[in-house]
Amino acid sequence: MLAYSLKRLLLAALVVLTVSGITFIMTNAAIDPAKAIAGANATIEDIEALRRSFGFDRPLVIQYLDWLGNALTGNFGESYRLRTPVAELLLDRLPVTMTLGGCALLFALSLSIPLGVVAALKPNSPVDRLALSLSVLGQALPTFWFALMMIILFGIVLRWLPISGSGSWAHFVMPSIALGYYATPAFMRLTRAGMIEVLASDYIRTARAKGLRPATVLFKHALRNAVIPVVSLAAVQFGFMLGGSVVIETIFALHGVGFLAWESISRSDIPVVQAIVLLISLFYIFLTLLADLLNAYLDPRIRVG
Amino acid sequence: MMKQWATAASAAALALAIAAPDAAAQKSKDTLRIAWEQTVENVDNYYNTNREGILFSRMVWDTLVDRDPKTFKTIPNLATAWKWVDDRTLEMELRQGVKFHNGEEFDADDVVFTLNYISNPENKVINQSNVSWIEKAEKLDKFKVRIITKKPFPAALEFLTIPIVMYPNEYYAKVGPKEMGLKPVGTGPYKATKIVPTKEYTLERWEGHFEGGSKPHAKIKNIVIRTIPEMSTQIAELLAGGLDWIWYVPVDQADRLETVPSLQVVRAETMRVGYIGMDAAGRTPVKALQDVRVRQAIAHAIDRPAIVKNLIGGKSRVLDAPCFPTQFGCDNSVAAKYPYNPAKAKELLAAAGYKDGFEMEFFAYRPRDWSEAILGYLNAVGIKPKLTQMTYFAVRDKNHANATPTYFMDWGSYSINDVSAILPNFFAGSGDDYARDPEVKAWLEAGGSTVDEAVRKENYSKAIKKITEQAYWLPMFTFVTNYGMTKDLNFEAFADELPRYYLYGWK
């Protein structure tokens, strides 16, 4: 188990290294940072002066190694725009994004699991079709448009919810629904498939034969087994939500990591973009690693093979 | 894609909102709630590059001299009198009895410190061109200073009206740019009470603001500014009563906002000038453009009044001279005029040997319908342009890399009311110069290196005459900014695109 864990850890570290390298090259290739810092109306002399003072005239490899060396000690440099340590910025913005991601996940699960159960009870019935349509709609609707439609209804017409900002719990309702709705089809289908399989299994028949109430059979015996794959999917989806919050945070002016990413990309604040990409990929890698190790722990065949 | 959805959604929002109940503005709380699309990274005046940074700066700090927003005349502010002692030396008398928000007294030490600090390249002020003309500042007595420029710099006073504000020397020396960005201290009509960088800025009227300067005592007590990047969200907030004032509203949205009873829309011309640049210098492989007749044909082919009327709207004007009409030296009388005349355009093309037209690339970053309108007119006379629509920085990079035979771009002159803030950028040999005309360059340098107004005017007129006769540029039109706000607000827009929040009050 130890050898396996070490192998996995090493692999994860290599992935992190690759991601950081690719991000560094791509961000530097996409836009000239000196021009972006100088602003729209700067002269060529301004730009050249900035290039020298920030060290952008050095070879890219040197700049990367420099950055990597610092990153290993937890120093992601300073934001060009804000002149604040990047790590400080991320720590400041992370709670909003985590709250949003958590609420979105909670919404997605509380919508998709009941839908999946209902659908599984009578597969291919109109109820199943309706449940499926409802959840697939979440994936089919552009998140951006769906968010704006909610703003119109709940923000302008009914005036139930605040439209932008992150001052109270109410500010998170619309963004969480917008972000979470997109993830419902995957959860719903997994729950439905799991439930159909479990409901057809022998132990459920036994449970029914024992005369247990249908609700007890459904929730205590069937669902508990059927949702296990949903839980591991949820971990991966959580990573997706942290990354996918860029659009949602921008629309609702929630100042989280996604909004920071948008601001930093549009102003070519390379150190921040690099750190955010690294952070989000670290989340993915960590969650995948966790799943791998957990699977290996549960199933010895994996670590031997 | 996102923009199209946004447009559709906000159209729907507006349709519904008209039926929704009116939201009361924050009139009762005496708080003006504003949204800006752009984030101001650091509100320290010298460490951000956006216009919103200037708006903030004007509320919290003061400049030595100021601009009358209507006549554009230079008026006293922290300096009460000034004179050029020689070509490079400007002497200024300072106002007495002015206090900073922290109680520090304003005097010559603050001016000398600020100017010497920002002009020192080691301090990495971002907009170097705003400060690089300063050689040094010297104290003559407690309320008298002398500013020495590196070379004769006639636009010095213009730079002292907007971009250069005065800092309290003791405080700034102690805290530096980062802390100044969090706890700004100035002499302006508002003091910052809470700064959450890039998110929210809260200001409160400063009761100790000095009398007699360019800014009156502020009318509205509190101002809350939030960053909301999405225009659709801003419009939704305005409709729902969560905001009182927004700007840069797209034309189509402004038309709809106007129909909402609780709101008003103001459309105002700005100093920003749009133009079509043409490669007369042969920096690209498109040979045809080196022929003056071809460039004149392009100028005659485009119906600029129709574009202004149908796509820009508001108070936008068609331009003949390559500058904003109020700018010093912007002599419209000498500019060659190119009325819409497709027949003449075809004649000129035929005379130049391009009867069947020619192919070229056309670059733009502003709304696509503007580019398409221009292209439509060029197609009609036989020119076959290929449109490349990119972001601002991408077009500018191509422009500097000799890759843009023709392009639609624009220039805001940093709101400086002098042609030295526009013409030398494009016709004095920089990367943006696609004319490379030594004569024009010499005239612009002559106009920019003396404080003698007559000499300056003469040289700039010569330059404008040749630039337009040679059709190096086709000046297109002035830009318009649309402001959306509650009906309760007394608002006035100015051509320099700098809303002065301290002037506005409730109806």
For residue range B30-87, what is the model confidence (pLDDT) as tens digits?
A: 999 999 988 787 899 998 877 899 999 999 999 999 999 888 889 999 999 999 999 8
Give the integer Cα–Cα distance in Å for B101 and B118. 21
Which one is predicted more confidently, B492 or B13? Answer: B492
pLDDT at position B20: 47
Instruction: Give the CA radius of gyration of chain B.
Output: 24
Residue A304: pLDDT band by 50, 70, 90 thresholds? Answer: low
Residue B486 has pLDDT above 70, yes or no: yes
User: What is the mean pLDDT of the segment spanning B486-502?
Assistant: 93
Taking CA–CA distances from B121, the nearest residue in chain A reads A49
**Is A140 within 8 Å of chain B by CB?**
no
Give the integer Cα–Cα distance in Å for B34 and B485. 9
**Is A169 within 8 Å of chain B by CB?**
no
Classify A72 as helix, strand or coil: helix
Kindly report the nearest CA distance between residue B98 and chain A, in angstroms: 31
- Angle subtended at Cα B196 by Cα B195 and Cα B200, rounded to the nearest 5 degrees: 85
**Is A92 within 8 Å of chain B by CB?**
no
Residue A16 has pLDDT above 90, yes or no: no
| Beta carbons of B212 and B189 less than 8 angstroms apart | no
Residue B10 has pLDDT above 60, yes or no: no
**Is A160 within 8 Å of chain B by CB?**
no
Partners of residue B414 in chain A, C-beta under 8 Å? 41
Domain range for A197 is 101-256
Residue B104: pLDDT band by 50, 70, 90 thresholds? Answer: very high
Assigned domain for A151 exists = yes
Assigned domain for A2 exists = no
CB contact under 8 A, B13 and A151: yes
CB contact under 8 A, A253 and B41: no
pLDDT at position B12: 56
User: What is the mean pLDDT of the segment spanning B220-242?
Assistant: 94
B7, B233, B396: best mutation site toward chain A, by most A Cβ within 10 Å? B233
Partners of residue B229 in chain A, C-beta under 8 Å? 250, 253, 259, 262-263
List, as ranges, residues 215-274 from A with C-beta within 8 Å of B: 247, 250-253, 255, 259, 262-263, 267-268
Work out how many domains chain A is built from and give that number: 1
Give the integer Cα–Cα distance in Å for A271 and A280. 14
Helix (H) or strand (E) holding A65: helix A60-72
| Beta carbons of B435 and B472 less than 8 angstroms apart | yes
Assigned domain for A42 exists = no
Q: What secondary structure letter does DSSP report for B22?
A: P
CB contact under 8 A, A42 and B129: yes
Distant-in-sequence, close-in-space partners of A174: CB < 8 Å, separation ≥ 6: A147, A150, A151, A154, A155, A161, A163, A252
Mean pLDDT of all residues in chain B? 91
For residues A248, A253, A254 and A255, what is the CA-based torsion angle, rounded to 10 degrees? 120
pLDDT at position B4: 52
CB contact under 8 A, B393 and A262: no
Q: Which tokens in the block code for residue B123? A: 């301090």
| Beta carbons of A258 and A207 less than 8 angstroms apart | no
Partners of residue B49 in chain A, C-beta under 8 Å? 37-40, 42
Assigned domain for A244 exists = yes
Give the integer Cα–Cα distance in Å for A156 and B15. 11
Residue B19: pLDDT band by 50, 70, 90 thresholds? Answer: very low
pTM: 0.81
Residue A39 has pLDDT above 70, yes or no: no
Assigned domain for A236 exists = yes
Kindly report the nearest CA distance between residue A236 and chain B, in angstroms: 26
Partners of residue B126 in chain A, C-beta under 8 Å? 37-39, 50
| Beta-carbon count within 10 A of B341 CB | 16
Residue B22 has pLDDT above 70, yes or no: no
Burial tier of B323 (Cβ tally within 10 Å: 0-12, 13-18, 19+): buried
Assigned domain for A166 exists = yes
List, as ranges, residues 188-217 from A with C-beta within 8 Å of B: none
| Beta-carbon count within 10 A of B137 CB | 21
Distant-in-sequence, close-in-space partners of A301: CB < 8 Å, separation ≥ 6: none
The ipTM of this complex is: 0.80
CB contact under 8 A, B127 and A46: yes
CB contact under 8 A, B127 and A40: no
What percent of chain B lies above the pLDDT cut of 90? Answer: 74
CB contact under 8 A, B229 and A253: yes
CB contact under 8 A, B13 and A35: no
List, as ranges, residues 44-73 from A with C-beta within 8 Å of B: 44-46, 49-50, 53
| Beta carbons of B468 and B427 less than 8 angstroms apart | no
- Which of B160, B162, B110 is closest to B134 using CA atoms? B160
Give the integer Cα–Cα distance in Å for B412 and B272. 4
CB contact under 8 A, B229 and A84: no
Residue A248 has pLDDT above 80, yes or no: yes
CB contact under 8 A, A82 and B198: yes
CB contact under 8 A, A44 and B431: yes
Which one is predicted more confidently, B132 or B188? Answer: B188
Sign of the dihedral through C-alpha B265, B271, B272, B275? positive
Taking CA–CA distances from B412, the nearest residue in chain A reads A41
| Beta carbons of B242 and A156 less than 8 angstroms apart | no
The CATH number of whichever domain residue A208 belongs to comes to 1.10.3720.10
Residue B6 has pLDDT above 70, yes or no: no
Closest partner residue to A164 (CB to CB) among B42, B237, B397 is: B237
Assigned domain for A51 exists = no
Please name the amino acid found at residue A216: T
Give the integer Cα–Cα distance in Å for B54 and A188. 51
pLDDT at position B21: 44
Assigned domain for A50 exists = no
Partners of residue A79 in chain B, C-beta under 8 Å? 41
Sign of the dihedral through C-alpha A154, A160, A165, A169? negative
A53, A83, A154, A245: best mutation site toward chain B, by most B Cβ within 10 Å? A83
User: What is the mean pLDDT of the segment spanning A268-288?
Assistant: 85
**Is A139 within 8 Å of chain B by CB?**
no
What percent of chain A lies above the pLDDT cut of 70? Answer: 95
